[in-house]
Each structure stands twice: as structure tokens, then as C-alpha cells.
Structure 1
Amino acid sequence: MYAHPLKRSWPVHAKPHLPSKICPVCERPFSWRKKWAREWESVIYCSERCRRSKYRRVQDSPASQET
């Protein structure tokens, strides 16, 4: 009947203070990861998939189709 005092409904290790960036390909925000600790300034894409499709996104943009 009563909730266990140690069980919480929110994440115990929530990390809202981590820096984030916007991926230029999918335009979604992504947060800092420990594996990017030394190279966070040079990280541009949120994933390997976005990094591989960076050129496809530029070709599909409406600005490139106007001419």
C-alpha cells in the first residue's frame, strides 16, 4: 500500500547540467558524453549516421533546389 522510501519516480542520476549542441543534420539536441570529454569542442554530429549523411542533407535542402 505504501511506496518504498528508496524507490523514486524520477531518474536518480539525472544530469541536466551537461552541455548540449544541435546536430546540423537531424536538427535535434544532443548532450555531452564521457567518450567525447577530450574532444567536445570538435564534436559536430550526434551520431555516426548523421556524420555519414552530412552531404545528403546539404543536397536535399530547399535552398539547393531553387536554382
Structure 2
Amino acid sequence: MSHKKPFLPEKTCVTCGLPFSWRKKWEKNWETVKYCSDRCRKNKK
């Protein structure tokens, strides 16, 4: 039997333009998250 995740909100990364999903570590500051990863955050334009 496969496990299906519930619907998770998505955003588009400001740097790379790819969509990324909500993560538990962003639970308290999801409104301010702009980048999909530390790599994109460090390489912002």
C-alpha cells in the first residue's frame, strides 16, 4: 500500500523559477520563504 501525502502549498523560487513545496522546517515562517534551497538563496541576483 502506498502512502499519499496530503496537498502541500507550493511557491515558485525567486532565483531558479522552479516550484517547491511546503516543508516542516518552514512551518513558522512560510510567508517569508522565497528560495527553494540554500544554494538559490546564496546565488540570488
Alignment of 1:1-67 (within 5 A): 8=1, 11-12=2-3, 14-55=4-45
Matched positions, count: 45
Q: Which runs of 5+ in 1 are unaligned?
A: 1-7, 56-67
* CA distance in structure 2 between the partners assigned to 1:22 and 1:16 by the alignment: 19
- The TM-score normalised by the length of structure 2 is 0.87
| Cα RMSD after superposing both structures | 1.2
Q: Percent identity?
A: 56
Tell which has more relative contact order, 1 or 2 (C-alpha 8 A, sep 6+).
2
Structure richer in strand, relative to its length = 2
In the TM superposition, structure 1's runs of 4+ consecutive aligned residues that sit over 4 Å from their partners are: none
- The TM-score normalised by the length of structure 1 is 0.61
* CA distance in structure 2 between the partners assigned to 1:43 and 1:36 by the alignment: 7
In our comparison, the structure showing a higher alpha carbon Rg is 1
> Match of 1:22, as an amino acid?
T
